[in-house]
Amino acid sequence: MTDTDRHNARTLSALRHNGGPWLILATGAPLLAGGLLVWQAWTLASVLGNAIEARAPVATLAPGIVLILALLLARAALAAIGDRAGTEAAEAIKLRLRTTLFSHLLAGSPRAATQPQSGAASAAIIDQVEALDGFFARYLPAMIGATVLPVAFGAIILPLDWLAGLLFLVTAPLIPVFMALAGWGAQLATERQARALSLLTSRFADRLRGIVTLKLFGRAEAETSGIVVASDELRRRTLRVLRIAFLSSAVLEFFAALGVAGIALYVGLTFIDYLHLRTTPLTLELGLFLLLMAPEVYNPLRLLAAHYHDRAAAKSAIGEIEAQLGTLSPLPSGERACPGLDPGSAAGRMRGPSPRTVSRKGPLARPKTVDLSPRGRGEARGPLGLAATSLTLRTPDSARVILANADFTIAPGEHAALLGPSGIGKSTLLEAMARLRLYEGGIMLDHRPLADWPEPDLRARTTMLGQKPRIFAGSMAHNIALARPGASPADIRRAAERAHVAAFADALPDGLDTLLGEGGLGLSGGQAQRIALARIYLRDAGLILLDEPTAHLDAELEQVVLDDLKAHASGRTLIIATHSLAVAARMDKAWRIAGETLLPTPLPTGKGRSVA
C-alpha cells in the first residue's frame, strides 16, 4: 500500500465519525443478524432431524417452526434497518463534507491563484463526494461483517466438527487475498476514471461558459467533437472499472463454491461411511447444520466482493477531491464534526494565515473568508474609519507593483473618491480594503487590523459593489434581495425606488417580478448596475465600497443617483472608485493613483474639502 493509499484510508476513517449513531447501527445490525442466523440454522436442522430420524409429530415440531419464522422476520427487519441506517449515515457524511468543502471554497478570494476551476470544483463537491456513498452505506458494514462473521461461524463450528471448522477457517481468508490482488487493478482503473470525470466536467463547464466566444471564432463544432471524444474515453474507463469489479466477484464466487462443495462432499461421504475422520458418528442434525451454514460462512465475503469496488471508488474520489480543493486533514481530538482542510494545501491556503501572523509591515496579508453578499442584515454600529500604512499591492502573479508604500486615512463618516484611468488599480485597492486581495503593509479598519476582523463582523459591517455586478437568472426582486434574503417586499420596493430600478421595472408587465436571464440578459448595462446598487440600500453597513457605480448612466441620471446614494451614505463611510471628476467632486476628499503612487487630489471649492 502506497503512502497515498494510507492517507486516503485515514481520511475515510476520519469521515466515519460524521456518520454518528446511524453508522454504528448500520454495522451492528448485520452482526446481530449473523447471531440470529446461527440460531435459525441450528433450529431448522433440529426440526428436520427430529422430523426425519425421530419421526416427531407436527405438534412437537410446531414451536421450532414458529421460532424459525420469527427468526426469519427478525433477520429481515435487521437487514432493512441496516440498509436504512447505512443510507442515513452516508447522507450525513456527504452533507457534512460538502458543507465543509463549499465553505472553504467560499473562504478564498475569487481572484486567488489557488482557486480551482469552477467545473473541477463542482465535480469534486458533487460527483466525487457522491462516490463516497457506496463506501459508507454498503462497503463499510460489509467489511465489518466479513471480518467478524466468518471467523465467528468457524469458531462455532470447530468444536462441533473439527474438519469442517478447519476447512472454513482455511478457505475463507483466501478469498480476501485474491480480492486484494484484483483490487489493486481496480484502484488504478478507478483513479483514472475519477480523473477523467473531473476533466470532462471541467472542460464542459468552461466550454459552456465560453460558447459565445467559440461560436464567434468558429470553434463550436470542434469543441463539441472534443467533448464527444472525451465522453467516449470516460465510458471506456468506466467499463474497465466494471470489468475488474466483475472479475473480483467471480474470484470470490469460485472459491466460495469450492468451499461449499467441499463441505457437501465431506458430509455426504461421511454419511455413506466412505470417510472415517470423526471419533463419533455424524448425526443428521449436525450434518444438516453444517450444510446450512456452509454458504452462510462465505455470504459475508460474497457481499464484501459485491461492494469491494465502492472502496476503490471512494479512495479515488478522496484523491480527486484533494487534488482539486486541497488536502483533507482530520480535526484535533475531541472534534468530530468533519475533517478540516490542511492549511498547507491549496484549499487551506485560500483561507489565508492566522491574523496574528499579519503585521503592519509583516508578511503578505492574505484575505480570510469574506462574503459581501450576506445572508442577513448586519447590525448598524456607526461608520467605520479606515487607515492604510505602507500599503503595497501587486498583480496576482507578483510580476508588477500596482501601488507602493501608500499611506492614507479616511475618518469615520467621510466620503472619499479614488481617481485614475481604467486599469490603474482602483478596483484592486477597493478589493484590498474589503479583504479580497493580497496586500503588503497594514490596513486598519475602525482602529483594528483588517486581518483580525472575524468574518461575520466584517461581512455585517461592510458592503461592496464591484464594477461588473453579478445578475443571476431570476426575478429583479430576487436579485435585489440577495443582499438580505429575509427582506420584505416593501423593503425591496423601497430599495428599488432609491436605486431608480422601479422607474423601468414598473413599465414591464410583471414589474419587479420580471424574470431576468443569467448575467443580466435582457438588461442594459445601466439597468443591471442599478439593480446591483439597490442591494446596497438593503444593507446597513458602516463602510460602503463602490466601484464605478454610475459608469453606465447619463449625466442627468448620474447626479440623481448620486444624490440618493449620498443620502443613504450619510453617517456612513463611503469610498467610490471612479474616473469621473463630476463624481469625485461630490465627495469630501479624493486621491489619484498615478504610477505606483497614491496622490491627494484637491477638490473644486464648494463641492468638497481638499486634502492636506
Predicted pLDDT of residue 338: 45
Q: What residues contact 84, with CB distance under 8 A and at least 6 apart?
A: none
Please identify which residue in the block is written with the cell numbers 433477520: 75
Q: Confidence class of residue 343 from pLDDT cuts 50, 70 and 90?
A: very low
Instruction: Tell me the three state secondary structure of residue 462.
Output: strand
Q: How far is CA 328 from the centre of its chain?
A: 11
Report the CATH fold assignment for 361-600: Rossmann fold (3.40.50)
Range with lowest mean pLDDT among 179-183, 194-198, 503-507: 179-183
The Cα-based distances of 435 to 203, 221, 415 in angstroms read: 30, 42, 20
Angle separating helix axes 308-325 and 162-209, nearest 10 degrees: 40
From CA 263, how far away is CA 256, in angstroms rounded? 11
Instruction: Tell me the three state secondary structure of residue 598.
Output: strand
- Closest by CA to 501, choosing from 467, 539, 532, 469, is 532
- Closest by CA to 503, choosing from 469, 576, 555, 553, is 553
Q: Quote the Cα angle for 293-295-301, to 5°.
A: 115
- Closest by CA to 266, choosing from 157, 364, 400, is 157
Could you tell me what percent of the chain has a pLDDT over 70? 82
Predicted pLDDT of residue 418: 93
Q: Confidence class of residue 357 from pLDDT cuts 50, 70 and 90?
A: very low
From CA 308, how far away is CA 188, in angstroms rounded? 14
Q: How far is CA 35 from the centre of its chain?
A: 39
Q: Which amino acid is at 97?
A: L
Q: To the nearest whole number, what is the mean pLDDT of the chain?
A: 80
310 phi and psi angles, rounded to 5 deg: -65, -35
From CA 238, how far away is CA 227, in angstroms rounded? 16
From CA 193, how far away is CA 235, in angstroms rounded? 9
Instruction: Tell me the three state secondary structure of residue 406.
Output: strand
401 phi and psi angles, rounded to 5 deg: -85, 130
pLDDT at 534 over 50: yes
pLDDT at 268 over 60: yes
Region 573-586: mean pLDDT is 90
- Give pLDDT tens digits for 393-446: 988 777 789 899 999 999 999 999 999 888 888 888 999 999 888 889 999 999
Q: What is the DSSP letter of 375?
A: S
Q: Which amino acid is at 557?
A: L
- DSSP per-residue string spanning 473-523: SEEHHHHHGGG-TT--HHHHHHHHHHTT-HHHHTTSTTGGG-EE-TTSTT-
- Domain limits, the chain: 3-106+116-325, 361-600
Please identify which residue in the block is written with the cell numbers 479624493: 590
Instruction: Tell me the three state secondary structure of residue 333.
Output: coil
Predicted pLDDT of residue 592: 92
From CA 437, how far away is CA 517, in angstroms rounded? 30
- Give pLDDT tens digits for 470-481: 888 889 999 999
Angle separating helix axes 284-306 and 220-271, nearest 10 degrees: 170
pTM: 0.58
> Which is more confident, 318 or 337?
318
From CA 223, how far away is CA 167, in angstroms rounded? 60
- CATH architecture classification, 3-106+116-325: Up-down Bundle (1.20)
Region 97-101: mean pLDDT is 88
From CA 145, how far away is CA 296, in angstroms rounded? 12
Predicted pLDDT of residue 198: 67
From CA 162, how far away is CA 145, in angstroms rounded? 23
pLDDT at 183 over 60: no
- Closest by CA to 65, choosing from 77, 57, 75, 53, is 57
334 phi and psi angles, rounded to 5 deg: 95, -20
Q: Confidence class of residue 352 from pLDDT cuts 50, 70 and 90?
A: very low
Predicted pLDDT of residue 354: 34
Strands 515-516 and 474-475: antiparallel
pLDDT at 377 over 50: no
From CA 71, how far away is CA 33, in angstroms rounded? 9
> Which is more confident, 396 or 346?
396
- Closest by CA to 258, choosing from 178, 334, 159, 193, is 178
Judging by beta carbons within 10 Å of its beta carbon (0-12, 13-18, 19+), is residue 59 exposed, middle or buried? exposed
Strands 440-445 and 597-600: unpaired
From CA 476, how far away is CA 156, in angstroms rounded? 71
Region 87-111: mean pLDDT is 84
Predicted pLDDT of residue 247: 72
The Cα-based distances of 542 to 20, 89, 368, 448, 589 in angstroms read: 43, 44, 19, 14, 18
